[in-house]
Amino acid sequence: MKVVLVCLVGVFATLVAFTSGELAQICLPPVPFCLLENNCVCTSKKSPIPTEETPQLISLTFSESVTDDLYTNLWAPLLLGRTNPDGAPISATFFVPHEYSDYRRVHDLYANGFEIGVNSITSNYSELYWATASVDTLVQEFDGQRTIISHFATIPGEDIVGVRTPQLQLQGDVSIDAYVAAGFEYDSSWSSTSSDRYFPYTLDYLSHQECRLGTTCPIQSHPGFWVAPIIDRQRYTDRSWVDCNNLSTCYVNGTSDEIAEWLLEQIELGRSYNRAPITLIVPSDWFRMIDNSYYGFAKFLDTVGTMDDVFLVNLKQVVDWAKNPVPLSEFKTAVTTPETECYPNTCNLRTAAGEVRYLTMCVRDGGYCPDVYPWLGNPLGEIQKEA
């Protein structure tokens, strides 16, 4: 009975527009108020333009601390110097948590045209923490981390618009409410099965995307807030295909050629179907766990670089395309030319618990260090004065 009532309400919902906090209705066409020109897009597996004219967009994404070692030995050698079919540099998205991140290297990524997003301050390992945190706590986690990145990596806060919650643990409307309150534009925490290849959409209306990994679906309307779905990869095991949402959990072994071939097969699954944007989660531990993965990934990128209809872009560029879906013949990689500077400084700081943390950051004035290690509720690391 409840399903029938929701569907009936959804039918009448096509005649009205919604405000944030209201129960989201099912998006049944025609929906006169859900128009792209109004920054509203319903959940769909169909490209907004003819499939054969749709550019195949791929976003490489990273959700871990940016260290000097990772930047120097993995990300820079693998990513820098590569170009898309239009001759512009490729891009990717780094969702940066706070602890152990080297903000000089975060700035270097930004200066090289990569998107910087937020992955919280604490990056708490407990799924229960993210499943039960209040809106206020989540705002402190995500908006606070944007403050930290902006201040210590000298990146304009308005350029930090994307968010991914640790372990992809969405808490339904609570998470989205926090993202909206913090002023973020899109989330990329919501995984989808390999058979459900959704294009980016907004949460004005109820999403059709299944909630997985023990997460909770948002059911309220959040007008104009975008979802960049993570479409699962596939791997063959025990005579069957299973889904996996990041390269570490796919456990694909083999020679570098075999790993590259598997990655290319994953791209072809979408490229030959509906060409929905593909998000690859690339953890650094994959390169440590799987032999030949580094050279296999490099070969994969080399081959992608020869395809004239495939673009390696960041997730903001994907959402921007969804807002203005131009055909392949007109698609151009957005090129940014950041003008911020970084004068690196390393500080020996202490946490509230008295533990030592080294913070490498960009400074505007030589020799500056925060009073204490920046953390939840104190993103600038200032000594808290008693009232």
DSSP-derived secondary structure for 24-68: P-B--S--TT--GGGT-----SS-SS-GGG--EEEEEEE-S---H
Residue whose C-alpha is closest to residue 209's, from 16, 42, 30: 42
Half-sphere exposure of 18 (CA within 13 A, CB side): 30
Q: In angstroms, rounded to a whole number, what is the distance separating the alpha carbons of residues 69 and 239?
A: 39
What does the angle CA 73 – CA 74 – CA 79 come to, to the nearest 5 degrees? 125
The reported pTM is 0.93
Cα–Cα dist 161/163, whole Å? 7
Q: How far is CA 20 from CA 203, 223, 340, in A?
A: 10, 6, 35
Distance CA 378, CA 387 (A): 16
Angle at the Cα of 56 (from 55 to 60), degrees rounded to 5?
A: 130
- Please list the pLDDT of the chain residue by residue as tens digits (387 residues): 333 333 333 333 333 455 666 899 998 766 778 999 999 999 999 999 999 999 999 999 999 999 999 999 999 999 999 999 999 999 999 999 999 999 999 999 999 999 999 999 999 999 999 999 999 999 999 999 999 999 999 999 999 999 999 999 999 999 999 999 999 999 999 999 999 999 999 999 999 999 876 778 999 999 999 999 999 999 877 777 889 999 999 989 999 999 999 999 999 999 999 999 999 999 999 999 999 999 999 999 999 999 999 999 999 999 999 999 999 999 999 988 888 889 999 999 999 889 999 999 998 766 789 999 999 999 999 987 665
Side-chain-side CA neighbours of residue 181 (13 Å): 18
